Amino acid sequence: MVLVIKNINKYIDYIQDPNDTFEEYLKKAKEYNVRCVFADPDEIDTARQVLEGTDIIIAGAVDFPQGKLSLKDKLADFKKLADLGIKEIDYVLNQAQIESRDYNNILTEMKEIADFSRTYGVADKAIVEMCKLDQEAKKSICEIALKAKPAFLKTSTGRSFGGATVEDVRLMKSILKDEVKIKAAGGIKNYDFACELIKAGANVLGASAALDIIEGERCASS
C-alpha cells in the first residue's frame, strides 16, 4: 500500500544538481514550487530575483559538509548569512567531537548556535551523520538536541556512506517529540521512500531528486 502524502513539494529542501547552472536550478525549483533552495552569499540576489513572488525559502549552509570549523568561526559565518537576510541555515556539527563522543562540547556548540539563531530569527538545522553512530550515540545526540533546542536535527549531509533511514527518523521522533523538528536527508530518491520518512516523523526532506519525488506524487494521485 502506497503511503500518500499530499503537496510533498513543500516538504523538500531542493539540492542543486551539479549538472545544472544556478539559474537552471532556480527555474526548476520555481516550476515545482519546492519548500527551499540553497544559495551562496554571492548568489542570494539572483535567487531573490528569480524566485520573486513565490514562498520558496532561500537558505544557506555553514561548514558543509566538513564539520571542521571552530564554534567561533561557525558563529561568524552564521552572522554573515543572517546579515544577508538568510532565515534558514544548515550546518554540520563538529565531526571530531562527534566521533570522539565529546558530548559536553557538542552541547555547547549546538546550544550557542541555537541561541544565536533565535536571536537573529534564523532556523538552524544541526547535521549529524547518523550512519556513523551506534544506537547509544544516536540517542545521546538526540537528547543533547532536546536540551539545546536547534530548530531542526538533520540525519545526514548526504555526502557520507549512508543517509536517511526510517529507523533513525523514528528514533529521533521518539526522543525529540515536537520539541525539535527533524530533517531527513541523504539517499531520498523516490516518492514512496519520502512518504515513509514523513510518516516516521520527518518534517522536512533534503533531496537532489526533488523533481522525481514530486512527479511520483503526481503519478500516485492520477
- Could you tell me the three cell numbers for 22? 544556478
List, by residue number, the catalytic residues. 90, 154, 183
